[in-house]
Amino acid sequence: MDTIQVLDKKFKVSIPEAEILRSIDAVAERINHDMAGKNPLFLAVLNGAFVFAADLMRRITIPCEISFVKLASYQGTISTGKVTEVIGINENLSGRHIIIVEDIVESGLTIERMLDSLGTRNPASVEVCALLQKPDRLQVDINIKYVAIKIPNDFILGYGLDYNQQGRGLPDIYTLVSDEEEQSKNNENMKNIVIFGAPGSGKGTQSDLMIEKYGLGHISTGDVLRGEISRGTELGKTAKDFIDKGQLVPDSLIVDMLASVYDALGEHKGVIFDGFPRTVPQAEALKSMLAERGHKVAAMIELDVPEDELMTRLIKRGQESGRSDDNAETIAKRLDVYHKQTSPLIDWYESEGIRHHIDGLGALDRIFGDICAVIDNL
């Protein structure tokens, strides 16, 4: 859903210009037929009808005249129901066939006021031609003979219609985006990503680049767990009890911690989940947690690097950092554990239709470009 911002409101296209013009063609054809030989006088109501009147007149092929009046019945997005004549009618209307040209008929109060005024001037006939009509909003019994398009009770903008004097020049007609639609759009655009990568795959580097380019949040299971414990939160205290007893922290508790951090981010463009999930039950729990918030995992990105390359990178890292766990034997065990853990998960995300394999061997920019291609198409 493409939207535009006008002042403090967001709007979406409701009726494209091509559809508007087709509807005007049909109305003009009827008027040309009905008013042939009558030299009708069109009274266009300013400001909103000026675009409609211009396009309508270009399609009127019979002799006619046009004049303008100005009435006001709107304040912001709500019809006030109070109609004030700003510019009067100066033409001699006696015996003339009049067509009032309005951008929109909503309550009908504006048209009723005009009909009352025109009726005192002895016209031969008075008809109403409206670009738009809201049948459900009509408050008075009036006949709108020529209606281009009937619409529901939505506030609209564009093609001459305004919101606090803004937006009249838009070629299409827009409707106001509701809070629910805006939230739904935000949810659709949210790019929650699970990133998989064996130790040494460059997952951390690529995550940093994704965060910088897309403004994503970052949730690392290890960081979350340590943070909850260090802050002494209730979740942290419960997790520490399990750890002190030599027990694994239950998945449900981990998910509660992640949910707490996720919610604390407030409005965001999406999150990279790093180090979680590690099992299919955890993936299912994460899916449920996000679904409760109207969100989802948009993609699982798998950085795939050959094991011999991972060994080379990690051994080199160990030599440079002095990390005791970066020796060949320990590295081999860690990679074995990683592959055993992630293999079922990769299959699970494949079945979800959101697994994206990225060749993690090669130039950093090329790898990141492949990741961006995935994210940009979400």
What pLDDT shows up at residue 324?
Answer: 60
362 labelled as ligand-binding?
yes
Q: Is position 115 within any domain?
A: yes
CB atoms within 10 A of CB 56: 24
* Same structural domain, 72 and 200: no
* Same structural domain, 32 and 145: yes
Q: What is the CATH number of the domain that holds 145?
A: 3.40.50.2020
pLDDT in tens, 248-260: 788 888 888 889 8
* Same structural domain, 307 and 226: yes
355 is catalytic: no
Split into its structural domains, the chain has a count of 2
270 labelled as ligand-binding?
no
246 labelled as ligand-binding?
no
Catalytic residue among 334, 340, 355, 366: 334
* Same structural domain, 194 and 316: yes
231 is catalytic: no
317 is catalytic: yes
Q: What confidence tier does 184 reach under pLDDT thresholds 50, 70, 90?
A: low
* Same structural domain, 156 and 61: yes
Q: Is position 185 within any domain?
A: no
Mean pLDDT of the chain: 87
334 is catalytic: yes
* Same structural domain, 65 and 121: yes
* Same structural domain, 19 and 47: yes
42 labelled as ligand-binding?
no
Rounded to whole angstroms, what are the CA distances from 182 to 176, 186, 189?
10, 6, 11
Q: What confidence tier does 189 reach under pLDDT thresholds 50, 70, 90?
A: low
Provide the 3-class DSSP secondary structure of residue 227: helix
Q: 362: exposed, middle or buried (C-beta count within 10 Å: 0-12, 13-18, 19+)?
A: exposed
334 labelled as ligand-binding?
yes
Q: Is position 218 within any domain?
A: yes
Provide the 3-class DSSP secondary structure of residue 292: coil
The reported pTM is 0.53
* Same structural domain, 239 and 101: no
pLDDT in tens, 8-25: 888 999 999 999 999 999
- Residue range 275-301: average pLDDT? 91
pLDDT in tens, 43-84: 999 888 999 999 999 999 999 999 998 775 544 545 555 554
End of a domain among 178, 203, 230? 178
Q: Does residue 185 surpass a pLDDT of 60?
A: no
Catalytic residue among 113, 121, 137, 278: 278
* Same structural domain, 340 and 200: yes
206 labelled as ligand-binding?
no
* Same structural domain, 235 and 324: yes
Q: What is the CATH number of the domain that holds 255?
A: 3.40.50.300
The helix (run of H) or strand (run of E) holding residue 321 is helix 307-321
Identify the domain containing residue 101 by its residue range. 3-178
Catalytic residue among 323, 340, 355, 366: 323
Catalytic residue among 9, 10, 203, 355: 203
